[in-house]
Amino acid sequence: MNLIDSALDAAVPDAREAMLLLALRRQIAFVRAGVPFWRARLAGAGVNENSIESLADLRRIPILTKDELRSVRPAALLPEGRSLDVAICRWTSGTSGRPTVSFWSDTDWAALAASTARMLGRQAPMPSPIAFNGYSQFHLTGPLYHAALRRLGGTVYDRSHHPEDLFPTLRQMELFDFDTLVLPGRAVRGKGIGLGDLMELDPDLLARHGVRWWIGSSGTFDAESLAWARAQGVESISNGYGASEFGLFSMSCARNPAHYHAGQGHVLVEVVDSSGALVQNGQPGRIVVTHLCGMTDDGQACVHGGTQLLRLAVGDGATLLTDPCECGLTAPRLCNVHRV
Ligand SMILES: [Zn+2]
């Protein structure tokens, strides 16, 4: 499986699933060998890498809840018996309880950045974007978009660390020329600032800067902001969706912005019913995600070496669509994403 090849999202679903299954079995073998927490949990469920013969067999692995995740010391989810390669460490916001932390090795981070670049690249209206990145560098999304845009040959100017009242984002943006703006639609939980907030302060912002591409995340783009951005000359709008434990794992469809194509590979995204089984096309369920792959320099998937999460319920529900999309991608779609 090559994580930098955009054909991965347009492949025949059976062919992609066969590659995901191989990666899954390799990852299960890895955690059984090196992570006592998972060795015990999988043994308790009677699961090993040889007993997973199809993605449907995943239902035998119990769903991990956020409460369970919080009850485990962070290092207990890291592989033992080798020198740890913890390159990136980021915490969740803690909306549903004590924040948790995830660690990525260098090859894990490469996989996440490359997969995000793969999802973004097909929506880029220019070959080498010049971006102002308004996301906080203390959280995951800021550094992730920075890394992904660099992979696309872009130049990225990051917002400073100052609070908004001390050094407003609008004043920072005036210091740069850029054609791509990386910013959420609305500020989340009163932190940072979103395009909707800036729009009220400076109605000609996007047109004056010549912004052609707006990139954001977590379904924060409302219809009013989308229409305003289009009217200001923005040609492409990319809205990523993910979770802080994993980073981005889906991107809005170019044809239907309310649908998110799952970027399978660095992670495995499922929508499951109350029994933990994958739902059928058109059915609602809970979103559960597995850390699946790191990536070597040539894009080939390798084992995920950092925090090991198999089937974590990320706290959201969605309706799953698995039929091919009119945009040309076959990657499964999440729609009607909502908190559960
Ligand atoms: Zn689509």
Return the SS3 of 251.
strand
pLDDT-based confidence at residue 130 (cuts at 50, 70, 90): very high
> What's phi and psi for 339, nearest 5 deg?
-70, 145
**Distance of CA 258 from the midpoint of ligand 1 (Å):** 10
d(Cα 290, Cα 270) in Å, to the nearest integer?
A: 9
Q: 265 pLDDT exceeds 60?
A: yes
pLDDT digit string, tens, across residues 146-166: 999 999 999 999 999 999 999
Q: Is the Cα dihedral 247, 183, 115, 177 positive or negative?
A: negative
Q: Which residue has the tokens 């783009």?
A: 221
The interaxial angle of helices 141-151 and 106-121, nearest 10 deg, is 70
**Distance of CA 255 from the midpoint of ligand 1 (Å):** 6
What DSSP line would sit under 98-147, residue for residue? S--EEEE-HHHHHHHHHHHHHHHHTT-SSSS-EEEE-S-TTSSHHHHHHH
In angstroms, the Cα distances linking 309 to 31, 122, 170, 212 are 9, 29, 38, 37
pLDDT for 89 equals 93
Residues in the chain: 340
**Mean pLDDT across 82-108:** 88
**Distance of CA 252 from the midpoint of ligand 1 (Å):** 8
pLDDT digit string, tens, across residues 308-330: 999 999 999 999 999 999 999 99
**Distance of CA 117 from the midpoint of ligand 1 (Å):** 17
**Distance of CA 265 from the midpoint of ligand 1 (Å):** 18
pLDDT digit string, tens, across residues 199-223: 889 999 999 999 999 999 866 677 8
**Distance of CA 291 from the midpoint of ligand 1 (Å):** 24
pLDDT-based confidence at residue 39 (cuts at 50, 70, 90): very high
CA 192 vs. chain centroid, Å, equals: 20
Question: 285-302 burial, b for 16+ CB within 10 Å, e for fewer?
Answer: bbbbbbbbbbbeeebebb
The interaxial angle of helices 13-34 and 36-44, nearest 10 deg, is 110
pLDDT digit string, tens, across residues 107-120: 999 999 999 999 99
Is the distance from CB of 211 to CB of 228 less than 8 angstroms?
no
**Distance of CA 253 from the midpoint of ligand 1 (Å):** 4
In angstroms, the Cα distances linking 320 to 55, 108, 221, 278, 323 are 15, 26, 20, 9, 9
What pTM was computed for the model? Answer: 0.96
Strands 260-262, 267-272: pairing is unpaired
**Distance of CA 11 from the midpoint of ligand 1 (Å):** 13
d(Cα 109, Cα 198) in Å, to the nearest integer?
A: 31
pLDDT for 191 equals 64
Torsion of CA 276, 279, 285, 286, to 10 degrees: 50
**Distance of CA 282 from the midpoint of ligand 1 (Å):** 15
Q: 124 pLDDT exceeds 90?
A: yes
pLDDT for 94 equals 81
**Distance of CA 324 from the midpoint of ligand 1 (Å):** 8
Residues near ligand 1 ion, CB 5 Å cutoff: 253, 325, 327, 329
pLDDT-based confidence at residue 85 (cuts at 50, 70, 90): confident
Q: 190 pLDDT exceeds 60?
A: no
Domain boundaries 1-100+259-340, corresponding CATH code:
3.40.50.12780
**Distance of CA 118 from the midpoint of ligand 1 (Å):** 14
Q: In the chain, what are the domain boundaries? A: 1-100+259-340
